[in-house]
Amino acid sequence: MIVAQASPGKKLHFPNMERLNDGSLVAVAREGAGHTGQDGRLLVLNSDDRGRTWSSPAVVHDSAYDDRDPMITQLESGRLLLSWFQIDYSVTPPEPMGTFVRHSDDGGATWSEPVTVQTSMSGESDIVDTYELGWAASHGQIKELPSGELIVPLYGTVPDDRWQRATVVRSLDGGESWRADTESLIASARNTHYQEPVLTVLPDGTVHALLRIGTAASTMGAVRSQESWSHDGGRTWTPPAEIDLVTSSAHTEVLKNGDVFLAYGDLSGHFTDRRGTVGAVLRNPGRPWKGAPRELVYDSGTGDQANPAVAEVRPGRVLVLGFDSDTSRLVGDFVDVAGIRDEPADPRRMDLAALHAAGRLTIGTDLVYTTPGRPNVGRTGPIDGVVGYYDAAWKPAAAPAQYTISFDRPTRAIEVGVALKPGHAEAATVKVRTAAGTWRSVGELDYRVRWGDDLTWFRVGPGTPIDMIQVGITESSGWAVLAEVAVRSPAGG
């Protein structure tokens, strides 16, 4: 669904959205010529029909600097709060100007002058990383606590430490002032960047912080995210702990039934090597955010995407906003939350990795590329039980390519499953060799794009004994990649 089209020569990025007290929706986004740039300005648009149609975007803030990462929040009182941060790209290195807040008490018809979110991270420094150290930014909504106090998440550096930290700053007057002496540290550690903290206030008042993680100076790494908890309104936080999601630029919505829907740019490679928009459901959000079922919501086909927003439009149904930089649009997808569930364990699926470890299965392939930065890329990637771009076998060249599994004895098989290169077009043939030494084709995958978890199963027979399986990649967009091979047997092997 097309939500908005950018002005000629511009692109739309970084949507955020809030369901208002009256059930309508308000969204904000950045418009500019590119992902960054001095011309960045903030737009607002509204929907009165649960997100099916939207008003034309209107400018809500435009300064001399790059206004970016807008967030919109409505308080219980009805007051709207708009927050964002600014960067000055007219100087070298670029200079973050801080995080700002405006408020509206008339539904967005008029807005207050911006106020600065003060922070102890601000300061002068002679050390330059991406920016001169001593800066702060924001990528998370302001949250209202049960007490009526407000907290806004920040991340950045202090003047003498290049490793980014995450904090919250508090407002005691409805967002009209934000003092540095109210700031609380969420996380800070050497050799770790804590970035883009996103806060979720659970029904019992517990505050959850989701943290994007970088592990090398000046980078935003594609490593597992971490979480921290506060049980005193954001004043103190638990030590951050790793979860099993690799998130960037996330947004959460507490659903009417108490579950949490998490929308984020996925950096895991599970669905695609691009930063597709993924939705995950936390059905017990007061416990560690691990093992959440998830699905790909949107993939524009480019690397410049995601930064999603989510709002529940009716019980159990959410709208997820994202952007498509190629078409310069904001886009939206409706998702039925009940449909996002883990697949039950398959009792008939053989454990190919265990067979390989025991010496009962060997692999012959020309998909032999390895790289230290991706330890699960290699010959055994397709038998590790995980469908993913980075849990696969690669060939540093286009198709043709082949991957052959040989069993040490005839093995009864019902079906063979194959997953090709997630997020990219490939074609393949699948063959098996019977115990009598006869090769026969069991299926073909036509040339098209498939995503993670898109395992295609081919019927072999009612427990036919086979001793080899061969996947031949016949056509590929770029390098040939095989994500997964699976086998179902009468008794699971």
pLDDT at 373: 80
pLDDT above 80 (res 492): no
- pLDDT, one tens digit per residue, over 370-426 is 998 888 999 999 999 989 999 999 999 999 999 999 999 999 999 999 999 999 999
Same domain flag for 221 and 191:
yes
Q: Residue 273's pLDDT is what? A: 85
Domain interval for residue 431: 352-488
Same domain, 282 and 400: no
Domain contains 46: yes
Q: Find the mean pLDDT for residues 127-143.
A: 94
* Residues 419 and 309 occupy one common structural domain: no
> What is the residue-wise DSSP string for 26-71?
EEEEEEESSSS-TT-EEEEEEESSTTSS-PPPEEEE--SSEEEEEE
Of the pLDDT bands very low, low, confident and very high (cuts 50, 70, 90), residue 134 is very high
280 and 361 both lie in a single domain = no
Domains of the chain: total: 2
Indicate if 320 and 458 belong to the same structural domain: no
Predicted local confidence at residue 426, as pLDDT: 98
Pick left, alpha or beta for residue 174 (phi over 0 → left; psi -120 to 50 → alpha; otherwise beta). Answer: left
In a domain, 347, yes or no: no
Question: Taking 50 as the threshold, does the pLDDT of residue 328 lie above it?
Answer: yes
Q: Is residue 344 part of a domain?
A: no
Dihedral over Cα of 248, 251, 254, 257: its sign? negative
User: Of the candidates 276, 310, 339, which is a domain's last residue?
Assistant: 339
Do 322 and 459 fall into the same domain?
Answer: no
Q: Could you report the per-residue pLDDT of 151-202, keeping only the tens digit for each?
A: 999 999 999 999 999 999 999 999 999 999 999 999 999 999 999 999 999 9
Range 5-29 average pLDDT: 98
Instruction: Write out pLDDT tens, residues 238-289.
Output: 999 999 999 999 999 999 999 999 999 998 888 888 889 999 999 999 999 9
d(CA 445, CA 310): 34
- Same domain for 218 and 284, yes or no, is yes
pLDDT for 287-326, tens place per residue? Answer: 999 999 999 999 988 878 889 999 999 999 999 999 999 9
Q: What is the DSSP letter of 455?
A: P
State which H helix or E strand residue 314 sits in: strand 309-314
pTM of the entire predicted model: 0.89
The residue written with tokens 């400018």 in the block is: 59
* Whole-number average pLDDT of the chain: 95
CB 226 within 8 A of CB 207: no
**Does 280 share its domain with 153?**
yes
Contact indicator for 229, 239 with CB cutoff of 8 Å: no
The model's pLDDT over 200-244, given as tens digits with 9 standing for 90+, comes to: 999 999 999 999 999 874 455 568 999 999 999 999 999 999 999
Q: Is residue 418 part of a domain?
A: yes
Picking from 174, 173, 247, 157, the residue whose alpha carbon sits closest to that of residue 209 is: 247
Q: Which helix (H) or strand (E) covers residue 355, if one does?
A: helix 352-357
258 Cα distance to chain centroid? 22
Q: Is residue 312 part of a domain?
A: yes
Domain edge (last residue) among 339, 369, 397: 339
Asked if residue 132 lies in contact with residue 123, where contact means CB atoms within 8 angstroms, the answer is no
Amino acid 220: pLDDT: 52
286 lies in the same domain as 372: no
Both tokens of 15, joined, read 């949507």
**Percentage of the chain exceeding pLDDT 90:** 88
Residue 188 lies in a domain: yes
Q: Which residue, 281, 315, 339, sits at the end of a domain?
A: 339
Both tokens of 81, joined, read 């709060």
Closest CA to 415 of 443, 374, 380: 443
Residues 391 and 462 in one domain: yes
- Is there a domain that residue 117 lies in? yes
Query: Does 78 lie in the same domain as 144?
Result: yes
CATH of the domain at 366: 2.60.120.260
Tell whether 332 and 394 lie within a shared domain: no
Length of the chain: 493
> Do the domain assignments include residue 199?
yes
Q: What's the CATH number where 258 sits?
A: 2.120.10.10
In this structure, of 29-33, 80-84, 489-493, the range with the lowest mean pLDDT score is 489-493
149 Cβ contact partners less than 8 Å away, ≥ 6 residues apart: 170, 171, 172, 233
pLDDT at 303: 79
- Separation between Cα atoms, residue 263 and residue 255, nearest integer Å: 13
Token output for 381: 């990637």
Q: What is the pLDDT of residue 218?
A: 42
